[in-house]
Structure 1
Amino acid sequence: MGINTERDLEANLQIGPTDQGFVRIFVEANGVEIPMDFDPEEAEEIADEIRAAATAARSVG
Structure 2
Amino acid sequence: MGINDDKDIEANLQIGPTDRGMVRLFIEAGKIEIPMDFDPEEAEEIAEEILAAAKAARTRKKSP
TM-score (norm 1): 0.97
**Aligned-CA RMSD value:** 0.5
Take 2:34 and 2:2, find their aligned partners in 1: how far apart are those partners?
19
Q: How many matched pairs?
A: 61
Gaps of at least 5 residues in structure 2 are: none
Gaps of at least 5 residues in structure 1 are: none
Counterpart of 2:26 in structure 1 is: 26
Q: Looking at CA atoms only, which structure, 1 or 2, has the larger radius of gyration?
A: 2
Q: Moved runs in structure 1, 4+ residues, more than 6 A?
A: none
Take 2:35 and 2:57, find their aligned partners in 1: how far apart are those partners?
26
The share of aligned pairs that are identical, in percent, is 72
TM-score (norm 2): 0.93
Give 1:30 shift: 1.5
